[in-house]
Structure 1
């Protein structure tokens, strides 16, 4: 005898706890429209945006008016010859980053989509807010990832979308769930925009509180500071540099000790509070490693051809040894503040990592290159004032980031418990 599966979510609104179980359906059975965007090539124009999967992010349609392409009204009308986007159509990415969703609003700018985005319009038995949330759920996302992995190219075909298993309750419960996630998404979006606004504000301050290239005074200064900044080589204002090594991986007695060992992948452009690996005293002695004290500035010096590594740095919040991909810098305290060095390098690190590194396939710094980097400095008193202000902004950004991550984790938990 086959065991019957109860299609009931772990978490349910009280008024629906005694209502019928949910019903499993194929997506094609509950939609009036399921299609992908245009497959054609279109000339640049000035009428409507032609967007792709990269424009669907964090539950929103993201349009950059300076970068995103526009097409002509003729091409736009040709794309929508047989159908029109309507309010609440569900958009889902099916090429590249799979499974990102957003609801189209009829107040959105005039736009069309390339084939990397599919359009889903539920029938009268389906609430679109619920449909978006159920597609966001772990159960449906796993189906999408599985379909993508079976394709010759990284993508999901319309035929795969049609076969998605969707579990739905009665319409009244769908509406309740859909509205719940709609409000939660609005709250997350509000915090996302708040974070982006603070990050943009800090970026604006950075551009005004440091001199432009070729100049020796910034646009914005704290009261009481009027002296011109001085152009120096970094090597002239530091006491030393140090980068580490890796103890032999073939010696078990060198690893899993109680001495922190840090790699550049753990530099987070903030305070580094943990190291993922530890070594023993024997490992430290074998690689001739010194322990770098907390409050030291450390920067990534290898693998800088990768955008995610280039410009990486941090302030140590722990005592630790380093591997060969990290360089610790020890400022002359009479000339250079560690916190100012940190804020300065966060600003220039991406650019310097492109302009001044060496290597063919792998881009890297060495000690001599680092010493030869240009840095424009005020007196230490002004450095401290600037770095304190920017550190306070960093703290605010980190706080807002943690709040946003908490909300996102809450949503993930609800998605896991409120769908089957």
Structure 2
């Protein structure tokens, strides 16, 4: 690749470095835009046929789609505004979540929640336009209208301005991003596989409800796990406060200050905000040491917050929505506490929290949470094993993030 000095992308394949500038066109000049439809659900003759029929909710992170969840018959197709779309069509969700895309790997039809892009073979490459998903989404969101929900029409989509090179350069760019997307998808699958493996091990290495022993165990351990209350195996608990926001001298210092929104169910290695020594003193905040287990105690009515926790990777102060737990290390290993809570946190956040509008824990509620424990030496073996899986997951997450950032950079430099 070479850097272009003309009215073209910053980065261009060498063989096109002296090619013509990219041309300003409208999407409707390069492709047909085709809507969809739904056969009557009251007529059984229209359904369970052999024609793929897509609806927006089934379009997610996949690149190609080769089969829909629901099928319609030829009669259903004829009695609705659905149309057969050829292989290579780019499905584009046009309402209630504008901008999800996928390429048809097998001909099919869609419901009315799509405005699909059918590229003209001599002017537009399918993967080139698919790679512009972010631009299609942005255009649809800006242009779309509606009182009940925002929708972009086929007519509006035909007017979308687009800069394009000749077809050969489009195909080269499309092939490049296809290879990059395939690599990203491969790493995503690897990550999902190791996460599923971790979930399976968690299920088997902790006793099921009503059981006193797990299904899977390290050699040499045969004793029943002991049913305890969390308060019986803790030495202390602590939650923090927020220094006054009205006093600028309390903020933008060098002391870490952690909020519950930053608990990532992993290791927290930095905090978004910092406070000053004066801020720490004003709120009487203790410094909590690296390696401590912390959980979210307020706002647990939200599924995304419920069960949030972390192990501190830095010394930090806490806000009032975070609680640090200090186990009696003769009875409970801190890392075992972390692995256990990641497993049960969602369920416990529903069963044991209190509050009408906002579901929360307090120190007394946390003390009564039930926990089954083996001896500490078995706890340590369990967390060593699970910790290795966590490290592998983190490694795959970093690789995936790096690839996604690379793609983002290339999209910036290879399109205008």
1:81 CA displacement: 6.9
Partner of 1:114: 111
| Distance in 2 separating the partners of 1:369 and 1:282 | 32
CA-to-aligned-CA distance 1:159-178 (integer Å, 9 cap, x gap):
22111111111111111111
Is the contact between residue 37 and residue 81 of structure 2 (CA under 8 Å) also seen in structure 1?
Answer: no
| Distance in 1 separating the partners of 2:214 and 2:363 | 29
Distance 1:79 1:223, change over 3 A: farther
User: What are the within-5 Å matches in structure 2 for residues 11-410 of structure 1?
Assistant: 11-31=11-31, 33-38=32-37, 42=41, 46-47=48-49, 51-60=54-63, 70=70, 73=73, 77-78=77-78, 83-106=83-106, 112-124=109-121, 125-133=123-131, 135-136=132-133, 139-148=135-144, 151-152=146-147, 153-410=149-406
CA-to-aligned-CA distance 1:65-89 (integer Å, 9 cap, x gap):
9xx9635547753477763132111
Distance 1:398 1:116, change over 3 A: farther
Distance 1:208 1:379, change over 3 A: same
Is the contact between residue 335 and residue 380 of structure 1 (CA under 8 Å) also seen in structure 2?
Answer: yes
| Distance in 1 separating the partners of 2:384 and 2:209 | 23
1:192 CA displacement: 0.8
- Give the stretch that moved more between structures: 120-129 or 53-62: 53-62
1:252 CA displacement: 1.6
SS in 1 for 2:11: coil
CA-to-aligned-CA distance 1:105-147 (integer Å, 9 cap, x gap):
118xxx65333333111112211111212x235x544323322
Is the contact between residue 244 and residue 322 of structure 1 (CA under 8 Å) also seen in structure 2?
Answer: yes
Distance 1:69 1:28, change over 3 A: same
- State TM-score, norm by structure 1: 0.90
1:62 CA displacement: 7.6
Distance 1:79 1:315, change over 3 A: farther
SS in 2 for 1:38: coil
Is the contact between residue 50 and residue 71 of structure 1 (CA under 8 Å) also seen in structure 2?
Answer: yes
CA-to-aligned-CA distance 1:280-312 (integer Å, 9 cap, x gap):
222222211111111000000111111211111
Q: CA RMSD in A?
A: 2.4
1:404 CA displacement: 0.8
> What residue ranges of structure 2 are gaps of 5+ in the alignment?
none
Is the contact between residue 76 and residue 112 of structure 1 (CA under 8 Å) also seen in structure 2?
Answer: no
SS in 1 for 2:304: coil
Aligned length: 406
Is the contact between residue 271 and residue 314 of structure 1 (CA under 8 Å) also seen in structure 2?
Answer: yes
> What residue ranges of structure 1 are gaps of 5+ in the alignment?
none
| Distance in 2 separating the partners of 1:398 and 1:38 | 43
| Distance in 1 separating the partners of 2:169 and 2:11 | 12
| Distance in 1 separating the partners of 2:71 and 2:357 | 38
SS in 1 for 2:28: helix
| Distance in 2 separating the partners of 1:116 and 1:126 | 23
Flag the structure with more relative contact order, 1 or 2, with Cα contacts below 8 A and sequence separation at least 6. 1
| Distance in 2 separating the partners of 1:36 and 1:216 | 58
| Distance in 2 separating the partners of 1:82 and 1:253 | 63
| Distance in 1 separating the partners of 2:171 and 2:335 | 51
